[in-house]
Chain A
Amino acid sequence: MHGRLAKLVATACLCLMTYGSAWAAGAISVWVALSEDGGAHAEAAQALRAELDRTPASRIDWQVAHWTRFTSSKPEPQWVVAIGATAQRAMQELFADDATPPPLLSLLVPRFAFERIADPGRLRAGTLSAVYLDQPPARQLDLIRLALPDVRNLGMLVGAESKAHVVAFDKAAKERGINVVVAQAETERLFPTLQAMLSEVEALLAVPDPAVFNSKSAANILMTAYRSRVPLVGFSPAYVKAGALLAVYSTPVQIGTRGGAMLRQALAGRNLPPPQWPSDFVVSVSLDVARSLGFVLHGPQLEEQLRQKERP
């Protein structure tokens, strides 16, 4: 009972503050809804604010909170930023009945999750955009080419969720002279499938799919691949720490910053840019694993080479 009362008061305060301050000062009202408090989501939100505050063209009235705190669409903000898939879904639903909902920028959401959630109507109308969390296939394959030039057969273990990635990866790989060996592996068949694949490939590329790569299976995948001396290319710093040879990823700060730049562009009166891959990224290498497998790799150098490749 107490909790409910407190929540009501908090919501009322939030509404009052938002409405009151925006009305009082004529500032632009921006909601930033987080899927989770703290962690990567908060880092991305901070970076977003820092990027906009860097060049204070117009005064912004920020409302940064967990998505559950935004219980009413009124008073309507001018912009909404959702950080995380849950927040994106919630913010879409909140303004679902609104004929002219405020533009929504989704950050820190993998492309396939974004596309699954995204309201096609709003996408068409250009009031919904995103900076994806994952990396474009071309970038990942360019990295493999740079770091592991001897790789001719690249293994991909996919589940029902991630098999949609295959077409794009296959196309990008062919353009780089790499043959992608794909195996669909659900939890029960994961290890026989992996073992059969390891004899055919020179490297393994992990793509996110909780049915294949999760905190339970990752240890066994990494150990099995290592016993076959097949390096694993991961998709997050956690994979590199756990034992992947290397990974390319964008940090929450990089994505928040990019989101900030997009928002600034939109605030300046232009349209919200279309959904896009993150432009900035990090290449991380596990030096111990590289040394043990006989590779000589340097993360920052690979990162620079990869950037040069992407420069027009």
Chain B
Amino acid sequence: MKAYSFRFGRAARTRWQRALPLVLAFIGGPGMAQQVSEKDYFDELPVVLSVSRLAQPLRDVPGSVTVIDRDLIRRSGAREVADLLRLVPGFLYTARSGANPQASYHAGMDTYGARMQVYVDGRSLYSSFLFGDTNLGLRGIILEEIERIEVLRGSNSASYGANAFLGVVNIVTRNAADTHGTMVSLTGGDGGVNDNVARVGWGDEKAGFRVVAARRSDSGIDGIYDDSRVSRLQFRADWTPSLNDDVMFQLGAGEISRGDGTGTASNPRRTIGQATVHALLRWQRRLGGDEKLDLRFSHEREAFADRALVTGAVLGPVSAINDSNGNVRRSELGLQHSFAWNDAVRVAWGGEWRHEVLHAPALYFGAGDLSLHQWRAFGTLEWRPHEQWLLQASGMHESHSYTGSALSPRLAANFHLTSDHTLRAGASRSQRAPNFYELRADTRLFNLSPGNAFVPVGAQIPGVGWLFLSSGTVKAETLISQELAYLGHFREINLKVDARAFIERMNDRVAVEGRNLPNPALVPVPFVAVGDFVNRPGPRLHGFEYQFDWRPLADTRLMFSELQIRSKAGWNAAEALEAPERSSSLTWLQKLPGNVDFTAISTASTPFKWAGGGDLINTPRRLDLRLGKPFAIGATRGEVSATVQAVNGGHQIYKMTQRFNRRGFVNLRLDF
């Protein structure tokens, strides 16, 4: 009854609003303001979707890109971005613990995602604290916020700068104009899964605003201490002051707390905390049909809390606080200008400045605050000499406070066999800049235990109490890659094919090596073993990856992707084991009768060993199933879904002793 009277009220109001211009028109002359006339057909409209606003079609992109859209995200049943990256050809997935899920391109070379670059709306998530990290940043992403994820398979420092080394994940969150109203999502299930998201959006056609609060928690993998809780609060505003300007502003704050430690004396169980706040301002201005300026400023602060009391014996009992607490703040300012030189040539060029300040007194003994500046200048030239050919050359010159300057070039040629079939050849050189820790680490342990005749309280523990001392000589890692790719669309049978063959040579891989320092202070322990960072020849990877995306029926979508890779160790034999010979994923999306969404995702890989402590594990096939039922009650839309991960039984993950067990959860989502 209430709803009826509301509707009546609105209709009445609407009628009045419609009637008013009519009355005015009558008074003013014979116009027909709200009635259809030939004016509707002949009135000019502003050019809205100019070339500078349109996304570049995949066939013209100088690299292989996989797009994961909102529909696929929802129907995948994924709770994290890393879960979704399993669907991207060439990506491998593991979880160092339940609190550290991660995906990596081609090889499991590190446990923090330091060799991948991640952008969210143009802001880099790369954290240079400790070993360089994108995994934590990715854990903080709220899936309900995402419009689409574009994954650039391959390396592209020429466009994205250092650290766009093995894969670039570009996350585009939803425009605030598209999320008016209220949304609530509740998830609960096995393994302590308890995820809640609430979103409120408001505004008009000129300006949109959104606030999102989200919490995601679970108890991780059975048998280990890896409970985790991710909390986030985000604000986004989108303002379109004129047709040629888009202004976006974001504020975000988040906290991740996660269990860590194996429970040994040197690695006790503890809860690690990370807190972040960020602000992002982006202004895109279209100067003409083909010309655009993109100005971006971001500021971010991160604080890490990880302190543990470790115990041991060095000629008697010793104990110390292993302290990785610290904080980092960074600012980034970037400007890009793109325009069409003429019908055949397009140019994009710009610059970026990045400044970071790190404060972590226990990790950088006696160093106080550390800071670095990075300057970047980049340019891309896109030349279409013939309608079938597109040649692109790009390069980035970076200058780094510690490691000097470097140039990352890239060349690509796209040949359109037809409008639906494209061949591409490309070559590039990319780099990963060493981070603070690799350059300046000096981490020591000081004895807290009384009663040791040789090591007084407050003294540095000899022998094992100097964990890392960086010699500071480490250079940037480089990756030279060559690729041949094919992108095809067989419209008659609704099949898209994306294939890429590659050779990737990594040089100057940064590795940890122990070195002995003389220890004259204590005769019974003549040497101190410290960890140092050195450059070593890296692996040589070659192989191919492909994806079939097939819609045989209107309600059916099948995606199959596979990676075949061979790795040749450059330095130690274990390196060759970091890439599986074969890894694949099959995704089946089906609309069932009664408007029920069915999803099955199956992934598997041959044995490989993740660097940083992983075991050589044959990852068996993992099957995830999901059933979802969208519904509408009046103006409220919703969906109820149930997901079971590893429905075919648990399997080992990362270590022989760790099992990812079957886990089910249900979700209710309401939009009103």
Are B46 and A219 neighbours in the complex by a CB distance under 8 Å? yes
Interface residue A150 (Cβ < 8 Å from any Cβ of B): yes
Contacts of B243 in A (CB 8 A): 219
Interface residue A97 (Cβ < 8 Å from any Cβ of B): no
Contacts of B39 in A (CB 8 A): 210
Q: A224-B177, A292-B56 are in contact. Are A210 and B40 (CB under 8 A)?
A: yes
Identify the stretch in A49-57, A184-192, A256-264, A266-274 within 8 Å (CB) of chain B at 4 or more residues.
Answer: A184-192
Contacts of B35 in A (CB 8 A): 113, 116, 161, 210
Contacts of A161 in B (CB 8 A): 34-36
> Given the complex of chains A and B, what is the CA–CA distance between A227 and B181 in angstroms?
18
Interface residue B44 (Cβ < 8 Å from any Cβ of A): yes
Question: What 0/1 pattern do residues 199 to 237 of A give for CB contact below 8 A with B?
Answer: 000000000111101110111101110111100000110
Q: A226-B49, A228-B178 are in contact. Are A249 and B36 (CB under 8 A)?
A: no
Are B36 and A110 neighbours in the complex by a CB distance under 8 Å? yes
Are A227 and B147 neighbours in the complex by a CB distance under 8 Å? yes
Contacts of A209 in B (CB 8 A): 36, 40
Chain B minimum-CB-distance residue to A238 = B45
Contacts of B175 in A (CB 8 A): 227
Q: A292-B57, A294-B58 are in contact. Are A222 and B49 (CB under 8 A)?
A: yes
> Given the complex of chains A and B, what is the CA–CA distance between A168 and B45 in angstroms?
27
> Given the complex of chains A and B, what is the CA–CA distance between A133 and B46 in angstroms?
22
Interface residue B594 (Cβ < 8 Å from any Cβ of A): no
Chain B minimum-CB-distance residue to A40 = B42
Are A85 and B48 neighbours in the complex by a CB distance under 8 Å? no
Contacts of A218 in B (CB 8 A): 45-46, 48
Interface residue B343 (Cβ < 8 Å from any Cβ of A): no
Interface residue B554 (Cβ < 8 Å from any Cβ of A): yes
Q: Please pick, from B36, B45, B54, B551, the residue contacting A215 in the complex, using a CB distance under 8 A.
A: B45
Contacts of B181 in A (CB 8 A): 192
Contacts of B30 in A (CB 8 A): 86, 89
Chain A minimum-CB-distance residue to B420 = A296
Task: Tell me how far the C-beta of A284 lies from the nearest C-beta in chain B, rounded to whole angstroms.
Answer: 13
Are B46 and A215 neighbours in the complex by a CB distance under 8 Å? yes
Q: A215-B43, A220-B205 are in contact. Are A113 and B36 (CB under 8 A)?
A: yes
Interface residue B346 (Cβ < 8 Å from any Cβ of A): no
Contacts of A254 in B (CB 8 A): none
> Given the complex of chains A and B, what is the CA–CA distance between A291 and B58 in angstroms?
9
Chain B minimum-CB-distance residue to A39 = B42
Chain B stretch 185-237: residues in CB contact (< 8 A) with chain A: 204-205
Interface residue A162 (Cβ < 8 Å from any Cβ of B): yes
Are A296 and B419 neighbours in the complex by a CB distance under 8 Å? yes
> Given the complex of chains A and B, what is the CA–CA distance between A158 and B468 in angstroms?
68
Chain A stretch 263-290: residues in CB contact (< 8 A) with chain B: 286, 288-289
Q: Please pick, from B40, B49, B55, B180, the residue contacting A243 in the complex, using a CB distance under 8 A.
A: B49
Please indicate which of the listed interface residues B41, B56, B551 has the most CB atoms of chain A within 10 Å of its own CB: B41
Are B40 and A35 neighbours in the complex by a CB distance under 8 Å? no
Q: A195-B178, A288-B54, A292-B55 are in contact. Are A162 and B36 (CB under 8 A)?
A: yes
Interface residue B32 (Cβ < 8 Å from any Cβ of A): yes
> Given the complex of chains A and B, what is the CA–CA distance between A150 and B492 in angstroms?
11
Contacts of B542 in A (CB 8 A): none
Are A210 and B38 neighbours in the complex by a CB distance under 8 Å? no
Are A236 and B177 neighbours in the complex by a CB distance under 8 Å? no
Are A223 and B48 neighbours in the complex by a CB distance under 8 Å? yes
Interface residue A160 (Cβ < 8 Å from any Cβ of B): yes
Task: Tell me how far the C-beta of A247 lies from the nearest C-beta in chain B, rounded to whole angstroms.
Answer: 10
Are B36 and A208 neighbours in the complex by a CB distance under 8 Å? yes
Interface residue A239 (Cβ < 8 Å from any Cβ of B): yes
Task: Tell me how far the C-beta of B466 lies from the nearest C-beta in chain A, rounded to whole angstroms.
Answer: 54
Contacts of B205 in A (CB 8 A): 190-191, 217, 220
Task: Tell me how far the C-beta of B184 lies from the nearest C-beta in chain A, rounded to whole angstroms.
Answer: 16
Interface residue A139 (Cβ < 8 Å from any Cβ of B): no
Are A40 and B40 neighbours in the complex by a CB distance under 8 Å? no
Q: A191-B205, A192-B180, A224-B177 are in contact. Are A288 and B41 (CB under 8 A)?
A: no
Are B42 and A160 neighbours in the complex by a CB distance under 8 Å? no
Q: A85-B32, A110-B36, A191-B177 are in contact. Are A235 and B41 (CB under 8 A)?
A: yes
Contacts of A84 in B (CB 8 A): 37-38
Interface residue A152 (Cβ < 8 Å from any Cβ of B): yes
Interface residue B51 (Cβ < 8 Å from any Cβ of A): yes
Chain B minimum-CB-distance residue to A217 = B205
Chain A stretch 93-143: residues in CB contact (< 8 A) with chain B: 108-110, 112-113, 116, 133-134
Question: What 0/1 pattern do residues 6 to 41 of B give for CB contact below 8 A with A?
Answer: 000010001101100000000000101111111111
Task: Tell me how far the C-beta of B237 lies from the nearest C-beta in chain A, rounded to whole angstroms.
Answer: 16
Secondary structure dominating the interface of B:
loop
Task: Tell me how far the C-beta of A44 lies from the nearest C-beta in chain B, rounded to whole angstroms.
Answer: 9
Question: What 0/1 pattern do residues 19 to 41 of A give for CB contact below 8 A with B?
Answer: 00000000000000001000110
Number of interface residues of B (CB under 8 A): 52
> Given the complex of chains A and B, what is the CA–CA distance between A192 and B180 in angstroms?
7
Interface residue A6 (Cβ < 8 Å from any Cβ of B): no
Contacts of A196 in B (CB 8 A): 637
Interface residue A241 (Cβ < 8 Å from any Cβ of B): yes
Task: Tell me how far the C-beta of A312 lies from the nearest C-beta in chain B, rounded to whole angstroms.
Answer: 28
Are A238 and B43 neighbours in the complex by a CB distance under 8 Å? yes
Chain B minimum-CB-distance residue to A243 = B49
Chain A minimum-CB-distance residue to B177 = A224
Task: Tell me how far the C-beta of B185 lies from the nearest C-beta in chain A, rounded to whole angstroms.
Answer: 15
Interface residue A242 (Cβ < 8 Å from any Cβ of B): yes
> Given the complex of chains A and B, what is the CA–CA distance between A40 and B491 in angstroms?
39
Are A210 and B57 neighbours in the complex by a CB distance under 8 Å? no
Are A288 and B49 neighbours in the complex by a CB distance under 8 Å? yes
Task: Tell me how far the C-beta of B598 lies from the nearest C-beta in chain A, rounded to whole angstroms.
Answer: 18
Are B55 and A236 neighbours in the complex by a CB distance under 8 Å? no
Question: What 0/1 pattern do residues 44 to 68 of B give for CB contact below 8 A with A?
Answer: 1111111101111110100000000
Are B40 and A208 neighbours in the complex by a CB distance under 8 Å? yes
Are A109 and B38 neighbours in the complex by a CB distance under 8 Å? yes
> Given the complex of chains A and B, what is the CA–CA distance between A246 and B129 in angstroms?
51
> Given the complex of chains A and B, what is the CA–CA distance between A31 and B231 in angstroms?
75
Q: Please pick, from A211, A228, A292, the residue contacting B34 in the complex, using a CB distance under 8 A.
A: A211
> Given the complex of chains A and B, what is the CA–CA distance between A249 and B41 in angstroms?
9
Q: Please pick, from A150, A162, A242, A289, the residue contacting B46 in the complex, using a CB distance under 8 A.
A: A242
Q: A186-B17, A210-B33 are in contact. Are A85 and B49 (CB under 8 A)?
A: no
Are A238 and B44 neighbours in the complex by a CB distance under 8 Å? yes
Are A188 and B14 neighbours in the complex by a CB distance under 8 Å? yes
Interface residue B337 (Cβ < 8 Å from any Cβ of A): no
Interface residue B355 (Cβ < 8 Å from any Cβ of A): no
Interface residue B373 (Cβ < 8 Å from any Cβ of A): no
Are A85 and B18 neighbours in the complex by a CB distance under 8 Å? no
Q: A86-B30, A192-B181, A292-B54 are in contact. Are A242 and B37 (CB under 8 A)?
A: no
Chain A minimum-CB-distance residue to B671 = A196
Task: Tell me how far the C-beta of B554 lies from the nearest C-beta in chain A, rounded to whole angstroms.
Answer: 6
Are A109 and B47 neighbours in the complex by a CB distance under 8 Å? no
Chain B minimum-CB-distance residue to A296 = B419
Are B48 and A109 neighbours in the complex by a CB distance under 8 Å? no
> Given the complex of chains A and B, what is the CA–CA distance between A35 and B32 in angstroms?
12
Q: A219-B243, A294-B57 are in contact. Are A85 and B37 (CB under 8 A)?
A: yes
Interface residue B489 (Cβ < 8 Å from any Cβ of A): yes
Beyond A110-B41, A223-B53, A296-B419, list 14 extra A-B contacts (CB 8 Å): A84-B38, A113-B32, A133-B41, A162-B36, A191-B177, A195-B178, A209-B40, A213-B40, A218-B46, A224-B177, A239-B45, A242-B46, A242-B49, A294-B57
The 4 closest A-B pairs by CB, nearest first: A243-B49, A208-B40, A292-B54, A242-B45
Binding site for B on A (CB under 8 A): 35, 39-40, 84-86, 89, 108-110, 112-113, 116, 133-134, 150, 152, 160-162, 186-192, 195-196, 208-211, 213-215, 217-220, 222-224, 226-229, 235-236, 238-239, 241-243, 249, 286, 288-289, 291-292, 294, 296
Task: List 25 A-B residue pairs with CB atoms under 8 Å apart, sorted by A's residue number.
Answer: A84-B38, A85-B38, A86-B30, A110-B37, A113-B38, A133-B38, A150-B554, A160-B18, A189-B10, A190-B205, A192-B181, A210-B33, A213-B40, A215-B45, A218-B45, A219-B45, A223-B49, A223-B53, A226-B54, A238-B44, A242-B47, A243-B47, A292-B54, A294-B57, A296-B419
